[in-house]
Structure 1
């Protein structure tokens, strides 16, 4: 579960490394976000020569969480870190590559491009 002030790892090649959640979208009183939810983040650490700079505010989608979540078949799944992929205002990826493992639930949230760019799925 991701909430405000949570530090997250960026797993695309946009240039950002670490981001902090500042708002959970899709509901006025929603406190926690899970895999597939949209959040607003501020960039805390980035590469020097990247188009994403420190302090910039962007949208992101959560692709991995430490908190275990249950699938419809009853199995639970958790990852070793909290990870996101950065999006622009039209909900399209800023980067062109995705590093690491993704959960299969992202496909059900209409982000098929992210799903197709990943090399491993769980």
Structure 2
């Protein structure tokens, strides 16, 4: 579960390394985000020190798609899907139109996002989990 002030890793080549959740989108009572939800994030740390090659800047605000969480996700058939405990929360940065900022995703994307019409992200990812 992702909530405000949660630190997430960035799983793309946009130039950001670590982001912090500012707001969970989807209604004024929504407190937690899960796989496939859109959140508003602030860039806390860049992947490289070079400002010329990075597509984002430190301190800027973007929207992000959650692709991995530490908690288990229950499926409709009763089974659970979860990731390795060593892996932490991860997200992909998106622009205002909903397209990915990066040209490549570094980690596989869950199959559940395929049903939510995120085909743009699946096409640039290395695979599905």
TM-score tier by shorter-chain length is over 0.9
TM alignment of 1:1-122, pairs within 5 A: 1-46=1-46, 47=48, 48-49=50-51, 50-79=54-83, 80-122=87-129
1:42 CA displacement = 0.1
RMSD: 1.0
C-alpha distance in structure 1 between counterparts of 2:76 and 2:110, whole Å: 13
The structure 1 segments of at least 4 consecutive aligned residues displaced by more than 4 Å after TM superposition are none
Unaligned runs of 5+ residues in structure 1 are none
C-alpha distance in structure 2 between counterparts of 1:64 and 1:116, whole Å: 17
Query: Higher mean Cα deviation, 36-45 or 99-108?
Result: 99-108
Q: Which has the higher strand share?
A: 1
Query: How many equivalent pairs are there?
Result: 122
1:56 CA displacement = 0.4
1:78 CA displacement = 1.6
1:72 CA displacement = 2.1
C-alpha distance in structure 2 between counterparts of 1:5 and 1:40, whole Å: 11
C-alpha distance in structure 2 between counterparts of 1:119 and 1:20, whole Å: 25
TM-score scaled by structure 2? Answer: 0.90
Unaligned runs of 5+ residues in structure 2 are none
